[in-house]
Amino acid sequence: MAAGRQSDIPLSRDPSARFLPWIVAFLTYIAALSVAGYLALAQLSVDWNDGLSNAITVEITALEGEEDASINGRVQTTVALLRGYPGVESVEVLSRAKIREFLEPWLGKALDIGALPLPRLIDVRLSGDEDVDVVALNEKLAGSTGARADDHAIWRDRMERFLGSLEWAAIAIVAVVVAAAVIMVAFATRGSLAAHRETIELLHLIGARDDYIARQFQRHAMRLAMIGSVLGALAAMATAFLISQSASGLETGAGLGAETAYLPVVATLALPPISTIVALFTARRTVLKALRRMT
């Protein structure tokens, strides 16, 4: 009896051949979107964090009834102090036009900047050669001009905690998806075993070994899982593309760089082989365990 690619059991007629690929496709779709979404957000966070790690924003708030000339004087004094501070590479006073540009995506283009009590903002870029003590800098600024420096540490910590939560959520979703896939493949395999019990007993009588029978079931499960996972991966990639196209019009400046844009794609393309391997081992273990009870 040959142990090649032939099939002595008509598994293609089983109900599992109809519903299992669609279930695997749905599970793969959920897992792919979860992993790809996490990778995209993680890379955006890295880019955002890199931009903030070497930057400090200095804020000068106008005092009650203070004239523009007095505020401008404090701004110039602060700029001079910052330019001579160790570790500072460049200092730029943000114009009202620049502030308007920052606020327009959130407050709209009809915003009247002049009607808002906005503070004067100074963008400070650090050289990175030495650490800047923000606490000491704030003490110096407060004693001279009343300005306040912000190194964005709070926002970076919040983003790190948020990404940590997303990472665990993505891992949990993938774990649930894998568990669901194992359960569904095992359930479908047991159904096929019950439906073809007489054929399997006949194969045993003519000398077929359990491994020969198990290979037929595992090939069947692999084929169904591969079809479903490929469909799910393609659907996930199409969804991710549509989302990225919609997000490109938000004018937030967010986007994956060319050197890292492949990561979500690679993660998605890795799911069909993984799904196929999971189906193979699940079907094989289920069949061998059932056959041992039958003999």
Confidence at residue 291, expressed as pLDDT on a 0 to 100 scale: 85
Confidence at residue 101, expressed as pLDDT on a 0 to 100 scale: 76
Work out the mean pLDDT of the chain and round it to a whole number: 82
pLDDT band at 222; cut points 50, 70, 90: very high
Confidence at residue 3, expressed as pLDDT on a 0 to 100 scale: 42
Q: Is the pLDDT of residue 141 over 70?
A: yes
Q: Is the pLDDT of residue 39 over 50?
A: yes
Confidence at residue 110, expressed as pLDDT on a 0 to 100 scale: 65
Q: What is the pTM of this model?
A: 0.72
Across residues 56-80, what is the average pLDDT? 85
Q: Is the pLDDT of residue 7 over 90?
A: no
> pLDDT: is 6 or 60 the higher one?
60
Confidence at residue 52, expressed as pLDDT on a 0 to 100 scale: 72
Confidence at residue 28, expressed as pLDDT on a 0 to 100 scale: 94
Q: Is the pLDDT of residue 256 over 60?
A: no
Give one DSSP letter per residue of the chain, joined into a string: ---SS--SS-GGGSTHHHHHHHHHHHHHHHHHHHHHHHHHHHHHHHHHHHHHHTEEEEEEPPPTT--HHHHHHHHHHHHHHHHTSTTEEEEEEPPHHHHHHHHHHHH-TT--GGGS-PPEEEEEEE-SSS---HHHHHHHHHHHT--EEE--HHHHHHHHHHHHHHHHHHHHHHHHHHHHHHHHHHHHHHHHHHHTHHHHHHHHHTT--HHHHHHHHHHHHHHHHHHHHHHHHHHHHHHHHHHHHHHGGG-S-----TTTTHHHHHHHHHHHHHHHHHHHHHHHHHHHHHHHHH-
* Domain residue extents for the chain: 11-50+156-294, 55-127
